[in-house]
Structure 1
Amino acid sequence: LSSLPAEAVERIGTYIRGHWGIENRLHWHLDVTFREDHCRARKACAAQNLNTIRKLALAIVSQRKDKLSIRKRLFTAALNIDYPKELLKFIGAQ
């Protein structure tokens, strides 16, 4: 319930849904691609550090726009020693 006019309430609702859409996309990749929900880190600082590393890796891998999925890019990076260097070239290049 609110005393705001209907237009203001609609704008606020649109903003909140947009924010959660971005938030859900990020967490979906962390949960599915990085299996973050299965992380067994016991110490809070370890879990937080791993989360930061996963988000950094996701940001780097997401910069490259090719036909490979993020999961396949990570797999390729694990197998090909030159691929991570290639991914780092895309940081900041837009």
Structure 2
Amino acid sequence: MHWVLDIAFGVDQYRVRVENAAQNFAILRRITLNLLKRDTNTKAGLKIRRLKACANDQYRANLLDL
């Protein structure tokens, strides 16, 4: 799982160390990863799906409705 998070989100680049912030961001990244994996209509990698969700409000809404 760490490899997938590192490729899709660049986890090794993060330097969040304030109290529980690192744990909170890790939970949010895993939730996001699970939402992106549920989308079977888009034939792209997780990194591209994540970028598509950032740029397209309709796609992001569809991810949350699945």
User: TM (normalized to structure 2)?
Assistant: 0.88
The percentage of counterpart residues that share the same residue type is 32
Which of the two has higher C-alpha Rg?
1
Aligned residue pairs total 65
Q: Which runs of 4+ in 1 moved over 2 A?
A: none
Structure 1 residue ranges without an equivalent (≥5): 1-25
The residue aligned with 1:89 is 65
Distance between the aligned counterparts of 1:35 and 1:29, measured in 2?
9
User: TM (normalized to structure 1)?
Assistant: 0.64
Distance between the aligned counterparts of 1:86 and 1:80, measured in 2?
10
**By how many angstroms is 1:28 displaced?**
0.9
Larger relative contact order (CA 8 Å, sep ≥ 6): 2
User: RMSD of aligned C-alpha atoms?
Assistant: 1.1
1:31 aligns to 2:14 (yes or no): no
Structure 2 residue ranges without an equivalent (≥5): none
